[in-house]
Structure 1
Amino acid sequence: MVGASEAARMERLESQVENGGGGAWEYLCLVRKLKARRSDKVLKHGLSILNDHRARSSLGAEEWTLYEQVAFAAMDCQQYDVAKDCIAVLSKQFPGSIRIGRIEGMLLESKGAWAEAEKVYARLLDDSPLNQVLYTIGGLENLQTAKKYYASTIALTGGKNTRALYGISLISVVRRL
């Protein structure tokens, strides 16, 4: 749930960005943090950063997070070409990524291509049936990725997914070792 102060901050930043006062990246980060659906604004301001080489390169590794955020916003706004372009950039950077494969499936779903999306998901399951246990591989990056997936599952299910609760508990224990 978004607190009143965070909502007010998001409104202020949105107004500032809309009026040319800068802060687009900060606004996009806040929208992502609060899980707000401001797809039209995310698409507009995200693309302005992605299309500006200097601004884009200053993001470092966060550039890929922005491509993903813009891809989802583009799907929401039915700007399928933009979403496809963002996914293509991500696929080039992370070839064979299951996460990117899932986003490709979501794009097909948003276009109403249910059969094609089902094929993508089936292929992903065939290629990596044990993907959900990333934490067992070890390494800080894998732990963080697994934690992110479990946390989003917990958020989406309101804490009713036992496997996600167990997974996040295991990650906490493993990180302490």
Structure 2
Amino acid sequence: MKYSSSHTLYCLKEEMRDKMRKWREENSRNSEQIVEVGEELINEYASKLGDDIWIIYEQVMIAALDYGRDDLALFCLQELRRQFPGSHRVKRLTGMRFEAMERYDDAIQLYD
């Protein structure tokens, strides 16, 4: 049986999404893998992920901070801010980024 390339891409997207979900559910701290899979998922399939994209942005952002990829963390944070302006959860993520950048006073101000 031959599969079309769109079917193959669909299967790859679903496999990657399932990996991300499994890692979230297991609270895995495998930041390098999350960044690798998550960045590809975001770059290649963001528009096809529906509402799952928002939890993926959050998961990738936290892993990117842990892995030292501030560029990716900032990108994810900006997307979350755009979608959820004024969100307490996004505010907490902003504080986490400040902490990762050793801007502790900014983080404390944000948390207060």
Point out where structure 1 has 5 or more consecutive residues left out of the alignment: 1-20, 123-177
Quote the Cα distance in structure 1 between the aligned partners of 2:109 and 2:100.
15
Which protein has greater RCO, CA pairs closer than 8 Å, 6+ apart? Answer: 2
- Of the two, which has the highest radius of gyration? 1
TM-score w.r.t. the length of structure 2 is 0.85
Alignment partner of 1:77 is 2:73: no
Per the alignment, in what secondary structure is the counterpart of residue 51 of structure 1? Answer: helix
Q: In the TM superposition, what is the alpha-carbon distance from 1:45 to its structure 2 partner?
A: 0.6
Point out where structure 2 has 5 or more consecutive residues left out of the alignment: 1-10
Q: In the TM superposition, what is the alpha-carbon distance from 1:57 to its structure 2 partner?
A: 2.1
- What amino acid does structure 2 have at the position aligned with 1:56? A
Quote the Cα distance in structure 2 between the aligned partners of 1:121 and 1:88.
19
Q: In the TM superposition, what is the alpha-carbon distance from 1:101 to its structure 2 partner?
A: 0.4
Q: In the TM superposition, what is the alpha-carbon distance from 1:72 to its structure 2 partner?
A: 0.3
Identical amino acids, percent of aligned pairs: 32
Tell me the residue number matched to 1:111. Answer: 101
Structure 1 vs Structure 2 CA RMSD? 1.2
- What amino acid does structure 2 have at the position aligned with 1:64? W
Alignment partner of 1:29 is 2:33: no
Quote the Cα distance in structure 1 between the aligned partners of 2:48 and 2:72.
22
Tell me the residue number matched to 2:48. Answer: 58
Alignment partner of 1:47 is 2:39: yes
Report the count of equivalent residues: 100
Q: In the TM superposition, what is the alpha-carbon distance from 1:56 to its structure 2 partner?
A: 1.8
Quote the Cα distance in structure 2 between the aligned partners of 1:32 and 1:62.
12
Quote the Cα distance in structure 2 between the aligned partners of 1:28 and 1:40.
12
Per the alignment, in what secondary structure is the counterpart of residue 40 of structure 1? Answer: helix
CA deviations over 1:69-100 (Å, ceiling 9, x no partner):
00001000011121111101100000110100
Quote the Cα distance in structure 2 between the aligned partners of 1:75 and 1:65.
16
TM-score w.r.t. the length of structure 1 is 0.54
